[in-house]
Amino acid sequence: MSPLEQTVYLWLEERGVQIEDIAELTFFLQADFFSDVTMEECIENVQTVLTKREVQNALLTGIQLDLLAEKEILREPLQQMIYSDESLYGIDEVMSLAILNVYGSIGFTNYGYIDRLKPGILCRLNSKSDGKIHTYLDDLVAAVAAAAAARLAHTRAHSSTIIIE
Ligand code: MG
């Protein structure tokens, strides 16, 4: 694992997010389509998504901005916008696109779905119950889970094609 990737795992953990939490979202997204999908398979796909440099960069940038907002040291008007997770801010969602772009269109649909339902860890991050600011992290975590679900779907479609051939 590269030092950058290690930092991503460390920062996620510091912000209260385990790989299993993200994998649970991936499982939630794919269980209806593949009845035999396992948590292990979801974890593996999340880990693969986290090896991508653009994914790592998006996570580190977003978490850093959340942290600075939490410490109340951003310059206005950004401090207020990120601190209060202002609905018209929208750059947290834009940053998530960098992650979704890696695995194509299935990722976008998956992202929209869990972003609306907010299952599992997304509900916890959104509720601000830990007293932390997760304006960026909730969207980034949803995007990693959605990208992992897209990758899982592509991998499965690809292996079934090989069997047919
Ligand atoms: Mg957000």
The residues placing their C-beta within 5 Å of ligand 1, an ion, are: 92, 135, 138-139
Cα 92 to ligand 1 centre (Å): 5
pLDDT, position 104: 80
Which residue matches tokens 């998530």? 96
Cα 97 to ligand 1 centre (Å): 13
Cα 44 to ligand 1 centre (Å): 25
- Answer whether residue 65 shows pLDDT above 50: yes
Cα 149 to ligand 1 centre (Å): 20
- Answer whether residue 67 shows pLDDT above 90: yes
Q: What is the DSSP string of 22-85?
A: HHHHHHHHHTTT-TT--HHHHHHHHHHHTTSHHHHHHHHHHHHHHHHHHTT-SPTTHHHHHHTT
**Average pLDDT taken over every residue of the chain:** 93
The band of 161, judged by pLDDT with boundaries at 50, 70 and 90, is low
CA pair distance 20, 10, nearest whole angstrom: 14
Cα 110 to ligand 1 centre (Å): 16
pLDDT in tens, 98-145: 999 988 888 889 999 999 999 999 999 998 778 899 999 999 999 999
Cα 93 to ligand 1 centre (Å): 6
pLDDT, position 22: 98
CA geometry: angle 17, 5, 131, nearest 5 deg: 25
Kindly report the pTM of this predicted structure: 0.93
- Answer whether residue 30 shows pLDDT above 50: yes
pLDDT, position 160: 63
Lookup: tokens for 53: 């440099």
CB distance 70 to 132 below 8 Å: yes
Cα 105 to ligand 1 centre (Å): 21
Cα 35 to ligand 1 centre (Å): 31
- Answer whether residue 164 shows pLDDT above 60: no
Lookup: tokens for 70: 């939490």
What mean pLDDT is predicted for residues 27-50?
A: 95
CATH 2.40.170.20 corresponds to the domain 3-157 = no
pLDDT, position 68: 98
Helix (H) or strand (E) holding 85: none
The band of 25, judged by pLDDT with boundaries at 50, 70 and 90, is very high
Domain boundaries, the chain: 3-157
- Answer whether residue 24 shows pLDDT above 50: yes
| One-letter identity of residue 31 | A
Cα 165 to ligand 1 centre (Å): 44
CA pair distance 125, 139, nearest whole angstrom: 10
The band of 32, judged by pLDDT with boundaries at 50, 70 and 90, is confident
